[in-house]
Structure 1
Amino acid sequence: MKITGAEVLVSSPGRNFVTLRITVEDGTTGLGDATLNGRELAVAAYLSEHLVPLLIGRDAHAIEDTWQYLYRGAYWRRGPVTMTAIAAVDTALWDLKAKAAGLPLYQLLGGRSREGCLVYGHASGAGLPQLFDSITEHLEQGYRAIRIQTGVPGLGAVYGVAGGAAPGGPGRDGGIRYDYEPAKRGPLPAEEAWDTRAYLRHIPGVFEAVRNEFGPELPLLHDAHHRLTPIQAAKLGKSLEPYDLFWLEDVTPAENQSVLRRVREHTTTPLAIGEVFNTIWDYRELFEEQLIDYVRSPITHAGGITGLRRILDYASVYQIKSGVHGPTDVSPVGLAAAIHLGVAIPNFGIQEYMRHSAATGEVFRSEIRFSDGMLVPGTSPGLGVDYDDVVAAAHPYEAAYLPVNRLLDGSMHDW
Structure 2
Amino acid sequence: MADADHKKLATEAAGTTKERRITDARVVVTSPGRNFVTVIIETEGGVTGIGDATLNGRELAVASYLVEHVIPALIGRDAAQIEDIWQYLYRGAYWRRGPVTMSAIAAIDVALWDIKAKMAGMPLYQLLGGRSREGVLVYGHANGGDIEETVDAVGRYIDMGYKAIRAQSGVPGIKDAYGVGRGTMYYEPADNSLPSVTGWDTRKALNYVPRLFDKLRLTYGFDHHLLHDGHHRYTPQEAANLGKMLEPYQLFWLEDATPAENQEVFRLIRQHTVTPLAVGEVFNTIWDCKDLIEEQLIDYIRATLVHAGGITHLRRIADLASLYQIRTGCHGATDLSPASMGAALHFDTWVPNFGIQEYMRHSDATDEVFPHDYHFADGYLHCGETPGHGVTIDEALAKKYPYDPKQLPVARLADGTMWNW
Query: When the two structures are superposed, what TM-score results if normalisation uses the length of structure 2?
Result: 0.94
Count of aligned positions: 402
Q: Deviations over 1:223-258 (max 9, x none)?
A: 000011010010000000000000000000000011
**Match among 67, 75, 82 for residue 94 of structure 2:** 75
**Match among 395, 399, 404 for residue 393 of structure 1:** 399
1:247 partnered with 2:253: yes
1:191 partnered with 2:210: no
Partners of 2:29 and 2:35 within 8 A in 1: yes
Q: 1:317 is matched by which residue type in structure 2?
A: L
1:103 partnered with 2:122: yes
1:156 partnered with 2:175: yes
1:11-410 paired onto structure 2 within 5 Å = 11-163=30-182, 166=184, 180-184=187-191, 186-410=192-416
Instruction: Give the match's secondary structure for 1:347.
Output: coil
Q: CA deviation at 1:137?
A: 1.2
Q: What residue ranges of structure 2 are gaps of 5+ in the alignment?
A: 1-19
Q: CA deviation at 1:180?
A: 3.0
Deviates most, 151-160 or 252-261: 151-160
CA–CA distance in 2 between the matches of 1:206 and 1:141?
21
Partners of 1:113 and 1:343 within 8 A in 2: yes
Partners of 2:198 and 2:410 within 8 A in 1: yes
CA–CA distance in 2 between the matches of 1:86 and 1:403?
26
Instruction: Give the match's secondary structure for 1:400.
Output: coil
Equivalent in the alignment of 2:3: none
Q: 2:386 is matched by which residue type in structure 1?
A: S
Q: 2:25 is matched by which residue type in structure 1?
A: A
Partners of 2:300 and 2:329 within 8 A in 1: yes
Instruction: Give the match's secondary structure for 2:271.
Output: helix
Instruction: Give the match's secondary structure for 1:20.
Output: strand
CA–CA distance in 1 between the matches of 2:162 and 2:23?
43
CA–CA distance in 2 between the matches of 1:139 and 1:216?
12
CA–CA distance in 1 between the matches of 2:61 and 2:135?
34
CA–CA distance in 2 between the matches of 1:214 and 1:359?
34
CA–CA distance in 2 between the matches of 1:201 and 1:33?
39
Instruction: Give the match's secondary structure for 2:27.
Output: strand
Equivalent in the alignment of 1:170: none
RMSD, aligned α-carbons: 0.9
CA–CA distance in 2 between the matches of 1:187 and 1:66?
35
Partners of 1:115 and 1:343 within 8 A in 2: yes
Q: Deviations over 1:71-128 (max 9, x none)?
A: 0000000000000000000000000000000000000010001011100000011112
Instruction: Give the match's secondary structure for 1:32.
Output: strand
CA–CA distance in 2 between the matches of 1:287 and 1:128?
34
Q: Any runs of at least 4 consecutive aligned residues in structure 1 with deviations exceeding 6 A, and if so which?
A: none
Partners of 1:157 and 1:163 within 8 A in 2: no
Instruction: Give the match's secondary structure for 1:65.
Output: helix
Q: Deviations over 1:105-162 (max 9, x none)?
A: 0000100010111000000111122112211111122211000100111122111012
% identity of equivalent residues: 62
CA–CA distance in 1 between the matches of 2:222 and 2:352?
27
CA–CA distance in 2 between the matches of 1:85 and 1:155?
36
Q: Deviations over 1:370-394 (max 9, x none)?
A: 0111110110100111100111111
Instruction: Give the match's secondary structure for 2:23.
Output: strand
Instruction: Give the match's secondary structure for 2:329.
Output: strand
1:2 partnered with 2:21: yes
Equivalent in the alignment of 1:171: none
CA–CA distance in 2 between the matches of 1:96 and 1:72?
23
Partners of 2:229 and 2:255 within 8 A in 1: yes
Instruction: Give the match's secondary structure for 1:386.
Output: coil
